[in-house]
Structure 1
Amino acid sequence: MTGPARGGADPGVAAAFRETMAAVCAPVAVMTGLEGGLPHGTTVSAFASLSMNPPMVLVALDRTSELLALVRRTRRFGLNLLGAGQAGLARRFAAKGGAAKFAGVAWEPHAGVPRIPGSAGFVGCTVAGLAHGGDHLIVLGNVVAAETTGDAPLVYHRRTFGTPAALPEVSG
Protein backbone atom coordinates (compact mmCIF):
# COMPACT_ATOMS: atom_id res chain seq x y z
CA MET A 1 0.00 0.00 0.00
CA THR A 2 1.31 3.41 -0.90
CA GLY A 3 1.21 6.42 1.37
CA PRO A 4 -0.03 9.91 0.64
CA ALA A 5 1.50 11.80 -2.26
CA ARG A 6 3.39 15.06 -1.84
CA GLY A 7 1.22 17.53 0.02
CA GLY A 8 -0.69 14.76 1.81
CA ALA A 9 -3.02 13.73 -1.06
CA ASP A 10 -3.81 10.05 -1.35
CA PRO A 11 -2.39 8.82 -4.72
CA GLY A 12 -5.68 7.13 -5.62
CA VAL A 13 -7.68 10.27 -4.86
CA ALA A 14 -5.17 12.40 -6.78
CA ALA A 15 -5.45 10.17 -9.89
CA ALA A 16 -9.26 10.09 -9.66
CA PHE A 17 -9.33 13.87 -9.23
CA ARG A 18 -7.13 14.35 -12.32
CA GLU A 19 -9.50 12.19 -14.40
CA THR A 20 -12.59 13.87 -12.98
CA MET A 21 -11.25 17.33 -13.80
CA ALA A 22 -10.40 16.20 -17.35
CA ALA A 23 -14.15 15.64 -17.77
CA VAL A 24 -14.83 19.32 -17.01
CA CYS A 25 -15.03 21.57 -20.05
CA ALA A 26 -12.63 24.49 -19.48
CA PRO A 27 -12.15 27.72 -21.44
CA VAL A 28 -8.70 28.30 -22.91
CA ALA A 29 -6.77 31.57 -22.89
CA VAL A 30 -3.26 32.83 -23.43
CA MET A 31 -2.28 34.85 -20.39
CA THR A 32 0.19 37.56 -21.37
CA GLY A 33 2.58 40.01 -19.82
CA LEU A 34 4.99 42.62 -21.12
CA GLU A 35 8.43 43.45 -19.77
CA GLY A 36 11.21 45.46 -21.39
CA GLY A 37 9.13 45.72 -24.55
CA LEU A 38 9.09 41.93 -24.93
CA PRO A 39 5.82 39.93 -24.86
CA HIS A 40 5.49 36.80 -22.74
CA GLY A 41 2.63 34.35 -22.48
CA THR A 42 1.37 30.97 -21.37
CA THR A 43 -1.74 28.91 -21.99
CA VAL A 44 -4.18 28.75 -19.07
CA SER A 45 -7.50 27.05 -18.48
CA ALA A 46 -7.77 27.70 -14.73
CA PHE A 47 -9.34 31.15 -14.87
CA ALA A 48 -12.74 32.57 -14.11
CA SER A 49 -14.81 35.65 -13.52
CA LEU A 50 -14.63 36.54 -9.83
CA SER A 51 -16.65 39.73 -9.34
CA MET A 52 -18.83 42.07 -11.37
CA ASN A 53 -18.54 45.01 -8.96
CA PRO A 54 -15.70 45.72 -9.21
CA PRO A 55 -14.94 43.68 -12.35
CA MET A 56 -12.39 41.02 -11.34
CA VAL A 57 -10.99 37.73 -12.60
CA LEU A 58 -8.82 35.02 -11.08
CA VAL A 59 -6.13 32.93 -12.75
CA ALA A 60 -4.22 30.01 -11.23
CA LEU A 61 -0.56 29.64 -12.23
CA ASP A 62 1.98 27.04 -11.18
CA ARG A 63 4.33 28.49 -8.56
CA THR A 64 7.30 27.81 -10.89
CA SER A 65 5.76 29.68 -13.85
CA GLU A 66 8.05 32.21 -15.52
CA LEU A 67 4.99 34.28 -16.39
CA LEU A 68 3.92 34.35 -12.74
CA ALA A 69 7.30 35.85 -11.82
CA LEU A 70 6.89 38.49 -14.56
CA VAL A 71 3.31 39.32 -13.48
CA ARG A 72 4.46 39.71 -9.88
CA ARG A 73 7.08 42.25 -11.06
CA THR A 74 4.96 44.21 -13.55
CA ARG A 75 1.59 43.95 -11.72
CA ARG A 76 -0.28 43.59 -15.06
CA PHE A 77 -1.57 40.75 -17.20
CA GLY A 78 -3.90 40.04 -20.09
CA LEU A 79 -6.18 37.13 -20.88
CA ASN A 80 -6.56 36.48 -24.60
CA LEU A 81 -9.62 34.22 -24.76
CA LEU A 82 -8.90 31.89 -27.64
CA GLY A 83 -11.40 31.16 -30.40
CA ALA A 84 -12.42 27.80 -31.86
CA GLY A 85 -9.76 27.98 -34.58
CA GLN A 86 -6.83 28.78 -32.29
CA ALA A 87 -5.84 25.38 -30.88
CA GLY A 88 -2.40 25.82 -32.46
CA LEU A 89 -1.82 28.94 -30.37
CA ALA A 90 -2.94 27.10 -27.24
CA ARG A 91 -0.38 24.34 -27.90
CA ARG A 92 2.37 26.83 -28.76
CA PHE A 93 1.95 28.85 -25.57
CA ALA A 94 1.62 25.71 -23.41
CA ALA A 95 5.27 24.86 -24.18
CA LYS A 96 8.30 26.36 -22.44
CA GLY A 97 10.11 29.14 -24.27
CA GLY A 98 9.61 32.58 -22.74
CA ALA A 99 9.41 35.44 -25.24
CA ALA A 100 10.32 33.04 -28.09
CA LYS A 101 6.73 31.76 -28.02
CA PHE A 102 5.70 35.03 -29.68
CA ALA A 103 8.04 34.52 -32.68
CA GLY A 104 5.79 34.99 -35.73
CA VAL A 105 2.69 35.68 -33.61
CA ALA A 106 1.00 39.03 -34.20
CA TRP A 107 0.29 41.06 -31.07
CA GLU A 108 -0.41 44.64 -30.09
CA PRO A 109 -0.12 46.42 -26.75
CA HIS A 110 -3.47 46.96 -25.06
CA ALA A 111 -3.97 47.97 -21.42
CA GLY A 112 -0.18 47.65 -21.00
CA VAL A 113 -0.03 43.95 -22.03
CA PRO A 114 0.06 41.95 -25.27
CA ARG A 115 -3.29 41.43 -26.98
CA ILE A 116 -3.42 38.75 -29.69
CA PRO A 117 -5.61 39.92 -32.60
CA GLY A 118 -8.15 37.32 -33.68
CA SER A 119 -8.80 36.08 -30.16
CA ALA A 120 -12.45 35.63 -29.24
CA GLY A 121 -12.04 38.04 -26.34
CA PHE A 122 -9.57 40.00 -24.26
CA VAL A 123 -9.40 41.06 -20.62
CA GLY A 124 -6.66 43.41 -19.43
CA CYS A 125 -5.94 43.50 -15.70
CA THR A 126 -3.86 44.96 -12.93
CA VAL A 127 -2.91 42.64 -10.08
CA ALA A 128 -5.18 43.07 -7.05
CA GLY A 129 -3.54 40.34 -5.00
CA LEU A 130 -2.25 36.79 -4.79
CA ALA A 131 -3.62 33.82 -2.87
CA HIS A 132 -2.10 30.43 -2.10
CA GLY A 133 -3.72 27.42 -3.73
CA GLY A 134 -1.71 24.22 -3.25
CA ASP A 135 1.02 24.02 -5.90
CA HIS A 136 -0.40 27.13 -7.62
CA LEU A 137 -0.76 30.82 -6.84
CA ILE A 138 -4.07 32.46 -7.64
CA VAL A 139 -3.66 35.85 -9.27
CA LEU A 140 -6.56 38.19 -8.59
CA GLY A 141 -7.01 40.79 -11.29
CA ASN A 142 -8.85 44.10 -11.46
CA VAL A 143 -10.24 44.38 -14.98
CA VAL A 144 -9.20 47.58 -16.76
CA ALA A 145 -10.21 46.54 -20.31
CA ALA A 146 -12.58 43.93 -21.74
CA GLU A 147 -13.87 43.11 -25.20
CA THR A 148 -15.38 40.19 -27.06
CA THR A 149 -15.86 39.36 -30.72
CA GLY A 150 -18.74 36.96 -30.17
CA ASP A 151 -16.74 34.19 -31.89
CA ALA A 152 -17.06 30.61 -30.65
CA PRO A 153 -14.58 29.93 -27.82
CA LEU A 154 -11.89 27.28 -27.66
CA VAL A 155 -12.46 24.81 -24.82
CA TYR A 156 -10.46 21.90 -23.40
CA HIS A 157 -12.28 18.68 -22.53
CA ARG A 158 -10.86 15.19 -21.97
CA ARG A 159 -7.42 16.44 -23.07
CA THR A 160 -8.78 17.56 -26.44
CA PHE A 161 -9.53 21.00 -27.87
CA GLY A 162 -13.00 21.73 -29.19
CA THR A 163 -15.82 24.24 -29.07
CA PRO A 164 -19.32 24.06 -27.64
CA ALA A 165 -22.37 23.58 -29.83
CA ALA A 166 -25.90 24.56 -28.97
CA LEU A 167 -28.28 21.70 -28.22
CA PRO A 168 -31.50 21.52 -30.20
CA GLU A 169 -34.60 22.71 -28.36
CA VAL A 170 -36.55 19.82 -26.88
CA SER A 171 -40.22 20.36 -26.19
CA GLY A 172 -42.25 18.65 -23.51
Structure 2
Amino acid sequence: MTVDSAEFTRAMARVPAPVTVATTVTASGEHRGFTGSSFSALSLDPPLVLICLDKKASTHDAFTTAEHFLVNVLARGQAEVALRFAKSGVDRFADGDMVPCERGLPGLAAAAARVACSLHAVMDGGDHSILVGRVETAYVSTRTPLVYSDRAFALPVPADRLTAVR
Protein backbone atom coordinates (compact mmCIF):
# COMPACT_ATOMS: atom_id res chain seq x y z
CA MET A 1 0.00 0.00 0.00
CA THR A 2 1.30 3.46 -0.92
CA VAL A 3 0.44 6.57 1.04
CA ASP A 4 -1.69 9.19 -0.69
CA SER A 5 0.53 12.11 -1.78
CA ALA A 6 -1.70 14.72 -0.13
CA GLU A 7 -1.64 12.79 3.15
CA PHE A 8 2.15 12.43 2.92
CA THR A 9 2.51 16.18 2.27
CA ARG A 10 0.31 17.02 5.28
CA ALA A 11 2.31 14.68 7.51
CA MET A 12 5.66 16.10 6.42
CA ALA A 13 4.41 19.67 6.93
CA ARG A 14 4.21 18.78 10.64
CA VAL A 15 7.96 18.11 10.77
CA PRO A 16 9.84 21.27 11.77
CA ALA A 17 12.68 22.04 9.40
CA PRO A 18 15.43 24.61 9.16
CA VAL A 19 14.94 27.42 6.66
CA THR A 20 17.95 27.71 4.38
CA VAL A 21 19.00 29.44 1.21
CA ALA A 22 21.67 27.64 -0.79
CA THR A 23 23.79 29.70 -3.18
CA THR A 24 26.44 29.05 -5.78
CA VAL A 25 28.23 30.79 -8.61
CA THR A 26 28.24 29.23 -12.08
CA ALA A 27 31.37 28.83 -14.21
CA SER A 28 30.28 31.97 -16.10
CA GLY A 29 30.02 33.95 -12.85
CA GLU A 30 26.21 33.99 -12.48
CA HIS A 31 24.74 33.77 -8.98
CA ARG A 32 22.16 31.06 -8.37
CA GLY A 33 20.19 30.20 -5.25
CA PHE A 34 17.16 28.42 -3.85
CA THR A 35 15.25 28.06 -0.60
CA GLY A 36 15.54 24.64 0.96
CA SER A 37 14.13 23.06 4.09
CA SER A 38 15.50 19.56 3.53
CA PHE A 39 18.93 20.30 5.01
CA SER A 40 20.75 18.06 7.44
CA ALA A 41 24.10 16.90 8.74
CA LEU A 42 25.05 13.60 7.15
CA SER A 43 28.47 12.65 8.51
CA LEU A 44 31.04 13.93 11.00
CA ASP A 45 34.02 12.11 9.46
CA PRO A 46 34.24 13.30 6.78
CA PRO A 47 32.07 16.35 7.52
CA LEU A 48 29.13 16.05 5.12
CA VAL A 49 25.74 17.76 4.84
CA LEU A 50 22.85 17.22 2.48
CA ILE A 51 20.29 19.52 0.92
CA CYS A 52 17.57 18.48 -1.51
CA LEU A 53 16.63 20.28 -4.73
CA ASP A 54 13.67 19.64 -7.02
CA LYS A 55 14.85 18.23 -10.35
CA LYS A 56 12.52 20.69 -12.16
CA ALA A 57 14.01 23.74 -10.40
CA SER A 58 15.60 26.39 -12.60
CA THR A 59 18.72 26.17 -10.43
CA HIS A 60 19.08 22.37 -10.67
CA ASP A 61 21.79 22.29 -13.35
CA ALA A 62 23.80 25.04 -11.67
CA PHE A 63 23.94 23.17 -8.37
CA THR A 64 24.46 19.65 -9.71
CA THR A 65 27.49 20.87 -11.68
CA ALA A 66 28.84 23.37 -9.13
CA GLU A 67 32.25 22.93 -7.56
CA HIS A 68 31.10 24.70 -4.38
CA PHE A 69 27.93 25.89 -2.70
CA LEU A 70 27.02 27.75 0.48
CA VAL A 71 24.08 26.94 2.75
CA ASN A 72 22.78 29.96 4.67
CA VAL A 73 20.74 29.00 7.75
CA LEU A 74 18.27 31.85 8.01
CA ALA A 75 17.64 33.74 11.24
CA ARG A 76 14.79 35.61 12.88
CA GLY A 77 13.60 38.39 10.55
CA GLN A 78 14.81 36.71 7.34
CA ALA A 79 11.58 35.02 6.22
CA GLU A 80 11.32 37.45 3.30
CA VAL A 81 14.67 36.16 2.01
CA ALA A 82 13.31 32.60 2.06
CA LEU A 83 10.18 33.68 0.19
CA ARG A 84 12.20 35.57 -2.44
CA PHE A 85 14.52 32.63 -3.11
CA ALA A 86 11.49 30.30 -3.37
CA LYS A 87 9.94 32.37 -6.20
CA SER A 88 10.49 31.65 -9.87
CA GLY A 89 11.03 34.31 -12.49
CA VAL A 90 12.55 36.95 -10.19
CA ASP A 91 16.08 38.18 -9.64
CA ARG A 92 16.67 36.57 -6.27
CA PHE A 93 19.86 38.58 -5.72
CA ALA A 94 18.42 42.03 -6.62
CA ASP A 95 17.94 43.16 -3.00
CA GLY A 96 21.70 43.24 -2.47
CA ASP A 97 21.58 41.40 0.86
CA MET A 98 23.80 38.59 -0.44
CA VAL A 99 27.46 39.53 -0.08
CA PRO A 100 30.67 37.57 -0.66
CA CYS A 101 31.14 35.21 2.29
CA GLU A 102 33.01 31.93 2.70
CA ARG A 103 34.89 30.93 -0.49
CA GLY A 104 33.57 34.19 -2.02
CA LEU A 105 30.12 32.63 -2.39
CA PRO A 106 27.06 34.86 -1.99
CA GLY A 107 25.77 34.70 1.55
CA LEU A 108 23.80 36.52 4.21
CA ALA A 109 26.16 38.31 6.56
CA ALA A 110 23.50 38.12 9.29
CA ALA A 111 22.60 34.43 8.87
CA ALA A 112 22.26 32.21 11.94
CA ALA A 113 24.92 29.97 10.37
CA ARG A 114 26.63 29.38 7.04
CA VAL A 115 28.17 26.16 5.75
CA ALA A 116 30.49 26.28 2.73
CA CYS A 117 30.84 23.01 0.85
CA SER A 118 32.50 21.40 -2.09
CA LEU A 119 30.10 19.21 -4.05
CA HIS A 120 30.81 15.67 -2.83
CA ALA A 121 28.01 13.75 -4.59
CA VAL A 122 24.64 14.11 -6.29
CA MET A 123 22.25 11.30 -5.48
CA ASP A 124 18.83 10.39 -6.83
CA GLY A 125 15.96 11.17 -4.47
CA GLY A 126 12.89 10.55 -6.61
CA ASP A 127 11.69 13.92 -7.92
CA HIS A 128 14.58 15.62 -6.08
CA SER A 129 18.35 15.44 -6.25
CA ILE A 130 20.21 15.05 -2.99
CA LEU A 131 23.22 17.34 -3.01
CA VAL A 132 25.89 16.05 -0.65
CA GLY A 133 28.38 18.69 0.34
CA ARG A 134 31.75 18.18 1.99
CA VAL A 135 31.96 20.96 4.57
CA GLU A 136 35.04 23.12 4.13
CA THR A 137 34.18 26.00 6.47
CA ALA A 138 31.37 26.89 8.84
CA TYR A 139 30.27 30.12 10.47
CA VAL A 140 27.95 30.34 13.47
CA SER A 141 26.37 33.52 14.83
CA THR A 142 24.40 34.11 17.99
CA ARG A 143 21.19 34.77 16.02
CA THR A 144 18.14 32.56 16.53
CA PRO A 145 17.52 30.25 13.55
CA LEU A 146 14.26 30.35 11.61
CA VAL A 147 12.17 27.16 11.44
CA TYR A 148 9.38 26.11 9.08
CA SER A 149 6.50 23.97 10.37
CA ASP A 150 2.81 23.61 9.51
CA ARG A 151 3.34 25.88 6.48
CA ALA A 152 4.48 28.79 8.63
CA PHE A 153 7.73 30.32 9.84
CA ALA A 154 8.50 29.90 13.54
CA LEU A 155 11.29 30.33 16.04
CA PRO A 156 12.59 27.55 18.27
CA VAL A 157 12.02 27.86 22.00
CA PRO A 158 15.35 27.97 23.86
CA ALA A 159 15.83 25.06 26.27
CA ASP A 160 16.13 27.41 29.23
CA ARG A 161 12.59 28.68 28.55
CA LEU A 162 10.95 25.25 28.52
CA THR A 163 9.14 24.07 31.65
CA ALA A 164 9.03 20.48 32.74
CA VAL A 165 5.88 18.58 31.86
CA ARG A 166 4.33 16.92 34.89
TM over 0.5: yes
CA RMSD, aligned part only?
1.8
Identify unmatched segments of 5+ residues in structure 1: 1-8
Query: TM (normalized to structure 2)?
Result: 0.90
Is the 1:34–1:112 contact (alpha carbons within 8 Å) kept by the matching residues of 2? no
1:73 matched residue in structure 2: 65
Deviations 1:104-130 (A, max 9, x none): 222114224212111111001111111
Considering fraction of residues, name the structure with more helix: 1
* SS of residue matched to 1:169: coil
> Of the two, which has the highest radius of gyration?
1
2:84 matched residue in structure 1: 92
Tell me which of 15, 18, 21 is aligned to 1:30: 21
Output aligned runs, 1:8-157, within 5 Å. 10=2, 13-35=4-26, 36-97=28-89, 100-106=91-97, 107-157=99-149
Is the 1:111–1:144 contact (alpha carbons within 8 Å) kept by the matching residues of 2? no
Deviation, 1:27, is: 0.3
1:6 matched residue in structure 2: none
1:168 matched residue in structure 2: 162
Query: TM (normalized to structure 1)?
Result: 0.87
Structure-1 separation of matches of 2:25 and 2:4: 38
* SS of residue matched to 1:131: strand
Structure-2 separation of matches of 1:171 and 1:110: 42
Distance 1:160 1:171, change over 3 A: closer
Distance 1:165 1:113, change over 3 A: same
Partner AA of 1:61 in structure 2: L
Is the 1:32–1:79 contact (alpha carbons within 8 Å) kept by the matching residues of 2? yes
Structure-2 separation of matches of 1:162 and 1:40: 26
Is the 1:43–1:90 contact (alpha carbons within 8 Å) kept by the matching residues of 2? yes
Identify unmatched segments of 5+ residues in structure 2: none
Structure-2 separation of matches of 1:47 and 1:63: 16
* SS of residue matched to 1:101: coil
Deviation, 1:171, is: 7.5
Structure-2 separation of matches of 1:142 and 1:60: 15
Structure 1: 4+ residue segments shifted above 4 A = none
